[in-house]
Structure 1
């Protein structure tokens, strides 16, 4: 299967190629606005997803696209600003370009990196209790409740994908990813430890422990993320659907792993509660 990954050199893109790159079932092409920082065994092309004519040739002959690229400057997932911005418009244009190119090139499927922030107001309205298994749960049918302009962009991408699926017959998979981290922080203490390194708090402080509690609910290990993408790429039954990108975390509030198991066969191998300290 020939797969194009937009934003392929980022944290999520490298999780996919780190764990699926040796799978003979796949040939990956990594599309990014900059060349890779280091050598990669995969084909790599430089193009900007805001430029349709620049990206369209790279969709030719592909079976699927995994759309990860995000134009920076949308305000971020922690911003509650309501005003519009040029980067926000650029992201919507990029979504249209990628989806249009996928349809025009007759790809079989689109896998879209959506986000927990598409329903993130659930967390905002229930924090910090939600980090401690307070009984707040949402399933894959939860209506969009974006917590930011970033979440709004992800919600729009899900709706546009459904339109592409129902109007043009391309299969669409929205992955409402929880928290996938770079290899050095790929554990539920990752955010807390990074905060220590950045001087934001001390290890063992209340702020540190709250970051651990949060990530033990939202964490998706890099190998579980790659496995979920693999499940979607191999699937041929879904018209359009959304799945939560989390590991087998007992305190998760994005609580619909059974839907992903039954629909595409997602079987996560990691769990936040298996960790009681950061790696040494």
Structure 2
């Protein structure tokens, strides 16, 4: 997701980004050559100076997958969330955009897959439905959302908190609804753990199911960046939760709330794809 923001927002005059990452990249790397603060979000003293003089923080750092154990998620997802909110408060950063995940409601999918991927299934989850996390990872994201609300309602900063429950955002080569099936990528909570498949069997049930899942949860890189842009430009929300998927016919996650509140206007629909790119 961070690279999607770089690709689609970094050149805009409205923004001057500072990047914070656990490691730097060489200048000749596709995402190298930026003004990067090298630090771990679990180390408060290391990240704190990067927040001075900023108007907004986009928090994407975390252990990112559903296979994580408690030992994996504790520091980056819980300690890190505390540190980033604390730094934003002390530096008086107004806007906080949090990269949450659709896995905070992942058990709806686990209980209903693969039927949930059918556009006629009839289940749409919105921001008012109870969270049902499917993993340690997802539960830490629920914590992050709740902690963000605690901060906005009890401290002067941050003044606005946007929790984006992102669907499936991939790197440029896989930025299409066949990306997971072609690359062998899997989501352990719903599909089991698969080895990468260099020569995918496009007639297999496993391939078909991965495509159907992505056609429901895919968010294109440009739609992802656009949704973050909507939040960064908004000045009305105090705290709110939005789902982040493209305008997919098979989506089971609501995007009407994001349309109405922050003006999210996704341009892509996974159903427009009937085959992987050549």
TM-score, reference length from structure 1:
0.89
Partner residue of 1:117?
Answer: 103
2:38 pairs, out of 24, 28, 46, with 46
Q: 1:69 to 1:90 in 2, by over 3 A?
A: closer
Query: 1:186-209: CA deviations, max 9, x gaps?
Result: 000000111296258511211111
Q: CA deviation at 1:144?
A: 1.5
Partner residue of 2:50?
Answer: 58
Contact map agreement 2:42 2:75 (CA 8 A) in 1: no
Query: 1:56-87: CA deviations, max 9, x gaps?
Result: 00100000000001146xxx3156x7xx3254
Partner residue of 1:261?
Answer: 259
Partner residue of 2:125?
Answer: 138
| Comparing 35-44 and 175-184, the one that deviates more | 35-44
Within-5 A mapping of 1:9-24? 12-24=1-13
SS in 1 for 2:17: strand
Q: CA deviation at 1:36?
A: 2.1
Q: CA RMSD in A?
A: 1.7
Q: 1:129 to 1:44 in 2, by over 3 A?
A: same
User: 2:203 aligned with 1:204, yes or no?
Assistant: yes
Structure 1: gaps spanning 5 or more residues:
1-11
Partners of 1:136 and 1:194 lie apart in 2 by: 29
Partner residue of 1:224?
Answer: 223
Q: 1:86 to 1:151 in 2, by over 3 A?
A: closer
Contact map agreement 2:63 2:137 (CA 8 A) in 1: no
Partners of 1:41 and 1:141 lie apart in 2 by: 42
Structure 2: gaps spanning 5 or more residues:
186-195
Contact map agreement 2:103 2:134 (CA 8 A) in 1: yes
Contact map agreement 1:201 1:207 (CA 8 A) in 2: no
TM-score, reference length from structure 2:
0.90
Contact map agreement 2:182 2:200 (CA 8 A) in 1: no
Within-5 A mapping of 1:175-254? 175-195=164-184, 198-199=197-198, 201-254=200-253
